[in-house]
């Protein structure tokens, strides 16, 4: 008897499928579909123990998949993470599942047909495998899965395998990928510091195509080049580099208007994260503050950082309010100073004693 196991990492909700013959790559793909149907969706990333049915070679991070499995990954668009050999910390969860099924379901059970065996296994999952309190989480997988299920990615019922073969490549620090001894440029910013960035590439007779791992969006297209050590660029990538440089220059110009440049840099970094498509508009709003309320710019910045308001519009509104307060304070101060001066110039006129007697109707004694 042979089985394959799937387990959701957070809830530990499990699915097991059995067959009487060794698994092939086609069997692995079929059981993936059955698992997705059992779970009600798929995850964004799937972690695998190394297996020759799916992985040809780890290739120092540039994973080579079998042709059938690569086509399936491309179609379903999930991210593949392959465990290192002899690494129980990364693949211990699924190994524990297989051990659990082997010794708690299969051992001592009488086998009749593969169909009845699978039915018995799914019934066991419902009453024990996914119902029993997990030793590590101290929760029942079925209870946690109820909260986890809405976050799964829905899939179509019908599946059509693609015949296109592709491989995974790691993006180098200079935003290039290596293929057949040559280097192909991808858009600036594809490489992420302190993070392994991968893309999927496919080839035709004349061109190389690079796709984003998550969205499967085409990010680069180059003609295939013979020879070794050549760098193949796309003119569009050069224009993107020019745009990036102009943006950085614009940011530097805006930063010059702040006295507390480190805090301003933190604020603008947040704008780049929150408004990637409108960062230039955000910078123009800051420039409008400089034109009208430059004297309160740093004070407005400090208030926005304290209140965690990361928007140039909020910064402008805060600056306007601070400027309004200053005007009111100055006006009140001027009025107070004017009254004080008037009172200081007033002196009481001295009157004779007789004038008071005349008013009171008395006589001097």
Contact (CB, 8 A) for 13 and 141: yes
Whole-number Å distance between alpha carbons of 177 and 173 = 9
Residue 364, pLDDT above cutoff 90: no
Q: What is the pLDDT of residue 234?
A: 74
Residue 206, C-beta contacts closer than 8 angstroms, at least 6 positions apart: 223, 224
Between the ranges 14-18, 43-47, 268-272, where is the mean pLDDT highest? Answer: 14-18
As a whole number, mean pLDDT of residues 294-322 equals 90
Q: What is the pLDDT of residue 337?
A: 59
pLDDT band at 227 (very low <50, low <70, confident <90, very high): confident
Whole-number Å distance between alpha carbons of 103 and 105 = 6
Q: What is the pLDDT of residue 236?
A: 60
Question: Domains of the chain, with CATH numbers?
Answer: 2-151 (3.30.420.10), 166-233 (no CATH), 238-344 (no CATH)
As a whole number, mean pLDDT of residues 42-51 equals 83
Q: What is the pLDDT of residue 162?
A: 44
pLDDT band at 160 (very low <50, low <70, confident <90, very high): very low
pLDDT band at 163 (very low <50, low <70, confident <90, very high): very low
Residue 100, C-beta contacts closer than 8 angstroms, at least 6 positions apart: 129
As a whole number, mean pLDDT of residues 290-310 equals 89
Q: Which two tokens stand for residue 358?
A: 């005349």
pLDDT band at 68 (very low <50, low <70, confident <90, very high): confident
pLDDT band at 102 (very low <50, low <70, confident <90, very high): very high
pLDDT band at 13 (very low <50, low <70, confident <90, very high): very high
Task: State pLDDT tens for residues 235-260.
Answer: 665 556 567 778 888 899 999 899 99
Q: What is the pLDDT of residue 125?
A: 92
Task: State pLDDT tens for residues 173-220.
Answer: 888 888 877 889 888 778 887 777 888 888 877 888 888 877 777 888
As a whole number, mean pLDDT of residues 278-294 equals 87
Angle between helices 279-293 and 312-345 (to 10 degrees): 10
As a whole number, mean pLDDT of residues 135-150 equals 89
Residue 348, pLDDT above cutoff 70: no
pLDDT band at 338 (very low <50, low <70, confident <90, very high): low
From 225, 155, 226, 170, select the one nearest 201 (Cα to Cα). Answer: 170
- The secondary structure element, H or E, covering residue 64 is strand 64-65
Q: What is the pLDDT of residue 18?
A: 93
Contact (CB, 8 A) for 324 and 300: no
Q: What is the pLDDT of residue 161?
A: 38
Whole-number Å distance between alpha carbons of 1 and 176 = 46
- Name the pTM for this structure: 0.44
Angle between helices 235-255 and 261-274 (to 10 degrees): 140
């Amino acid at each position: 008897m042979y089985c394959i196991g799937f387990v959701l990492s957070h809830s530990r909700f499990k699915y097991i499928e059995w067959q009487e013959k060794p698994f092939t790559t086609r069997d692995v793909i079929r059981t993936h579909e059955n698992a997705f149907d059992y779970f009600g969706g798929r995850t964004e990333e799937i972690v695998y123990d190394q297996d020759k049915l799916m992985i040809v070679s780890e290739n120092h991070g540039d994973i080579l998949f079998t042709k059938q499995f690569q086509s399936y990954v491309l179609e379903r668009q999930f991210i593949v993470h392959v465990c290192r050999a002899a690494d129980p910390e990364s693949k211990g969860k699924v190994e524990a599942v297989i051990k659990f099924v082997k010794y708690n379901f299969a051992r001592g059970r009488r086998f009749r047909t593969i169909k009845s065996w699978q039915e018995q296994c799914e019934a066991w999952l419902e009453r024990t495998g996914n119902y029993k309190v997990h030793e590590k989480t101290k929760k029942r997988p079925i209870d946690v899965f109820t909260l986890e299920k809405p976050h799964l990615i829905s899939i179509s019922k019908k599946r059509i395998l693609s015949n296109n073969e592709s491989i995974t490549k790691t993006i180098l620090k200079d935003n290039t990928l290596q293929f057949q001894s040559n280097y192909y440029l991808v858009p600036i910013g594809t490489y992420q510091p302190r993070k392994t960035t991968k893309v999927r590439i496919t080839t035709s007779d004349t061109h190389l195509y690079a796709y984003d791992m998550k969205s499967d969006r085409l990010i680069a297209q180059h003609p295939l080049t013979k020879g070794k050590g050549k760098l193949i660029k796309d003119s569009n990538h050069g224009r993107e580099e020019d745009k990036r440089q102009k943006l950085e220059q614009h940011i530097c110009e805006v930063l010059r208007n702040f006295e507390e440049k480190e805090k301003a840099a933190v604020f603008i970094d947040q704008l780049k994260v929150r408004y990637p498509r409108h960062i230039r508009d955000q910078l123009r709003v800051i420039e409008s503050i400089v034109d009208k309320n430059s004297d309160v710019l740093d004070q407005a910045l400090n208030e926005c950082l304290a209140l965690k308001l990361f928007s140039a519009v909020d910064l402008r509104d805060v600056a306007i309010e601070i400027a309004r307060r200053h005007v009111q304070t100055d006006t009140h101060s001027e009025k107070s100073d004017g009254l004080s001066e008037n009172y200081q110039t007033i002196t009481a006129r001295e009157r004779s004693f007789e004038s008071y007697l005349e008013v009171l109707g008395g006589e001097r004694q």
